[in-house]
């Protein structure tokens, strides 16, 4: 199963470390939201998302998620 983990890791890199640790057993690729588009997403069977701020998203995280979804919607 072709797997992709999309994550944003800003401050300490912890989210990326978790994504990388999951990617090994899953044989997944890890990319940032800005590195993917609808055409690329269509080539994967399983897509996971990661990113938190103190255990919960803040408004800027939610805005990035909305922008990402809008970019790939309907394609």
For 10-50, how does the pLDDT look when each residue is reduced to its tens digit (9 = 90+)?
A: 777 878 888 888 888 889 999 998 899 889 999 999 998 88
- Return the higher-pLDDT residue of 56 and 29: 29
Instruction: Provide the whole-model pTM.
Output: 0.72
- In sequence order, what E strands does the chain have? 3-7, 29-31, 46-50
What does DSSP assign to residue 53?
B
For residue 56, what pLDDT band results from cuts at 50, 70 and 90?
Answer: low
β-bridge partners, 29: 4
> 60-74: per-residue pLDDT in tens?
777 777 777 676 665
Q: How many Å is the Cα radius of gyration of the chain?
A: 12
β-bridge partners, 3: 46
């Amino acid at each position: 199963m072709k797997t992709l983990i999309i994550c944003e890791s800003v401050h300490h890199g912890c989210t990326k470390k978790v994504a990388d640790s999951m990617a090994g057993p899953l044989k997944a690729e890890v990319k940032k939201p800005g590195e993917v588009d609808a055409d690329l997403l269509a080539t994967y069977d399983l897509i996971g998302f990661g990113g938190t701020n103190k255990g919960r998203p803040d408004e800027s995280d939610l805005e990035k998620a909305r922008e990402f979804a809008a970019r790939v919607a309907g394609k």
